[in-house]
Amino acid sequence: MKFYIRTFGCQMNTNDSEAIAGILISGSHELVEDPENSDIVIINTCAVRRKAEEKFYGKLGEIKKLKMKKPNLIVAVCGCVAEKERERIIEKYDFVNFVFGTRSITKILDLLERAKKGERFAYFGDHLDELDHTVPRFRLSSHHAWVTVIYGCNKFCSYCIVPYTRGREKSRRMDDVLKEVSDLVKKGYIEITYLGQNVDSYGKDLGDGTSLAKLLEETVKFEKLERIWFLTSYPSDFSDELIDVIAKNGKIARSIHLPVQSGSDRILKLMKRNYTVADYIQLLKKIRDKIEGVSISSDIIVGFPNETEDDFMETVKLVETAKFERLNLAIYSPREGTLAYRFYEDNVPRDIKVRRLQFLLNLQKRINRSLNERYVGKTVEIIGEGKLKKTGDLYGRTINNKIVIFKGVDEMIGRKVYVKINRVSAGPLYGEVVKWDVSRLGRSNLDSYDASIQEDKIQVQGFDPSLQTR
């Protein structure tokens, strides 16, 4: 049977879709790019913000029209909205055949067989232990791979739905993670990104001394691996040991995503974030003092319940002080089931939220451009990553996560390219190729396909390389 996957949300959702696709392909099913040509449609959902959930329901409406034309089409929903809504999706949408949970993806072949027999159901069994290095994955790149090392989150920030949709923290054993990395290196992969809702918590639940720092120390031993990334960190869990490991190992990316969420201690307390602004600034200083050339990105929520103008100006002050290389901004979105939804009134008017968002956006653009000006005339080393649809130009990123756009040939994707920067923006850098590594030409990879269409195969909502944090 032919199947189509649409993925909404974060890199962990993308990695889940890679596993779902890999398992289905191993079961002799065929992945297609157009739902019109499919026998099975799987929608992998995100519930972090209302907008992401609305996009899912919009897509579900499209699939309903398709099912009216193709009555035998099997429709499945998974991911965070599936966990949040559970049986309600089956009850409300009679064209959906089955719903399954974030910890049930290894059972996709069994679930599909049930659906083929006419059963409609929801399944939320916990089978994370089966999601190991032996699970086949359809990778979205031929040179970079996502590797999830810890599932779930124990933080229970008051605004966040993730602990309720992803469950409590559960780490993979280090030997299993390293076997997956070893397999990837043998297939020619030169970059990996370790993933976790709170990746700094990796290993704590295992009780055997495993940590993210120790995992990184073992990972750098793979000689052919050129870059190691990790996402996403929690400020109060970012250890001195981790800083030291990054500082002394050149393969580990000089890019740290460290969400702060607010610059107001009062709001941080309401958010149930376990640090103060002073703690955060001290951590930034420690990281920048020890890790040469590091870039730090962050997340901020504006318009959290009871956020005053003074609270917002404290956030502005933090952004001006921190000078982040990138900043992801979001308007507060009430999520049913969270502490904030239950106990706080969403009392900041929409127009004020939008004004605050726009103010920070403009401020961050000025900071970005100022930081980027330092690169004019310099030659940077990047790894080619893909091709822009509109212009046909290539793009890649530096080891500190600067996106660089340049003209080149497709063979530069997945290889080191040296680009002299001649123009900058508040986002990407632009330049001309000086030289590039041709040593890997002719490499064969069973997991790969044309990287110029990589963002289309398992469709990822809103793909924009200039905005992707790694």
Tell me the pLDDT tens digit for each residue of 221-259. Answer: 999 999 999 999 999 999 999 999 999 999 999 999 999
137-299+333-342 and 376-467 in the same fold: no
d(Cα 360, Cα 50) in Å, to the nearest integer? Answer: 21
pLDDT at 437: 83
Q: How confident is the model at residue 447 (pLDDT cuts 50, 70, 90)?
A: very low
Tens digit of pLDDT for each residue in 274-297?
999 999 999 999 999 999 999 999
Tens digit of pLDDT for each residue in 385-439?
999 999 999 999 999 999 999 999 999 999 999 999 999 999 999 999 999 987 7
103, 126 Cβ separation under 8 angstroms: yes
Name the residue ranges covered by the structural domains of the chain.
2-129, 137-299+333-342, 376-467
Radius of gyration of the chain (CA): 22
Burial class (CB in 10 A: 0-12, 13-18, 19+), 293: exposed
pLDDT at 320 over 50: yes
d(Cα 298, Cα 319) in Å, to the nearest integer? Answer: 10
394, 411 Cβ separation under 8 angstroms: no
Percent of the chain with pLDDT over 70: 93
pLDDT at 440: 58
> What is the Cβ-side half-sphere exposure of residue 247, based on CA atoms within 13 angstroms?
13
Average pLDDT over residues 87-94: 96
Min mean pLDDT across 56-60, 182-186, 435-439 is at 435-439
pLDDT at 438: 79
Min mean pLDDT across 172-186, 211-225, 399-413, 433-447 is at 433-447
pLDDT at 382: 97
Q: What does the DSSP 8-state code read for residue 153?
A: -
Tens digit of pLDDT for each residue in 61-87?
999 999 999 999 999 999 999 999 999
Q: What does the DSSP 8-state code read for residue 207?
A: -
Q: What does the DSSP 8-state code read for residue 39?
A: S
Q: What's domain 2-129's architecture?
A: 3-Layer(aba) Sandwich (3.40)
Strand, helix or coil at 310?
Answer: helix
pLDDT at 253: 95
d(Cα 440, Cα 63) in Å, to the nearest integer? Answer: 42
Q: How confident is the model at residue 454 (pLDDT cuts 50, 70, 90)?
A: very low
Strand, helix or coil at 225?
Answer: coil
Q: How confident is the model at residue 469 (pLDDT cuts 50, 70, 90)?
A: low
Average pLDDT over residues 123-137: 96
pLDDT at 456 over 70: no
- CATH 3.30.70.100 fits domain 376-467: no
Tens digit of pLDDT for each residue in 138-168?
999 999 999 999 999 999 999 999 999 999 9
Percent of the chain with pLDDT over 90: 92
d(Cα 391, Cα 91) in Å, to the nearest integer? Answer: 45
Q: How confident is the model at residue 463 (pLDDT cuts 50, 70, 90)?
A: very low
Domain 137-299+333-342: assigned CATH number: 3.80.30.20
d(Cα 37, Cα 47) in Å, to the nearest integer? Answer: 28
Q: What is the mean pLDDT of the chain?
A: 93
pLDDT at 453: 29
